[in-house]
Structure 1
């Protein structure tokens, strides 16, 4: 009962603050009933991060429970990781499209304009987070905010360029 209360209270507070949804990286869909109910009640999207090694049956369950979009990781590992995009990422996004009409966003590892351009050629959204944190941490103070803005411009320019064949 406590979990239901906490989920409801969190959803209520998030909605009151102007939030529109939550990215759910580590909550299995089978254990998300309380959160999904609270999110629905407060008109919040529940965005699940889906694993590329999941079966189509599991992906279908997750996609059916999700709202707003489905989040596909671009690289193996955890948020903040850097490295090449997963070689099967384009195929995975295509696989998700056969299982849901929701937009497919790709993040977790996207940090360069080249990666943004590549992902932007087949995903509905390119998600970047940790690269901004690294830019701010590398240059404390107002200059860090400027560095984050420069990165944002570089990523946006990457999305507007011709798409490279590999990232």
Structure 2
């Protein structure tokens, strides 16, 4: 993501949101893609950032949100259905069903799925965790940085503190 940004993210005691609006469309941010890894509190925070973007949009802009989950190939149909039902429960009452979409695809291939769906969206909200290797903090995931560079739309990345 860059030395300065990585330095801030590495030393911050709280999550940092890195925004790239360089590819924002003239139509605004009407279609938001949120790849969800699991049902954790951090995934929920990622979704809630999307809700903040929606709530800050002009009222006449009917923002649509898509939750993407790439599931383990070993998941059964029942597991997939369970995950879909859990994500459906995340829809706040103020967002109509037609503006809240869930896409669940069979893994592996999260990067490819995000890239494909990003072509139909104006903003992708990602999350990355800082890690330590041999006791030393490492910069943001090269994989995440590469994905961000390839996205055809704007992006927001939530960088969690070191774990």
Q: Identify whether the pair has TM-score above 0.5, normalized to the shorter chain.
A: no
**Greater share of strand:** 2
Q: Comparing both chains, which one has the higher relative contact order based on Cα–Cα distances under 8 Å and sequence gaps of 6 or more?
A: 2
Larger Rg, first or second structure (1 or 2): 1
**TM-score in terms of structure 1 length:** 0.33
**TM-score in terms of structure 2 length:** 0.34
**Greater share of helix:** 1
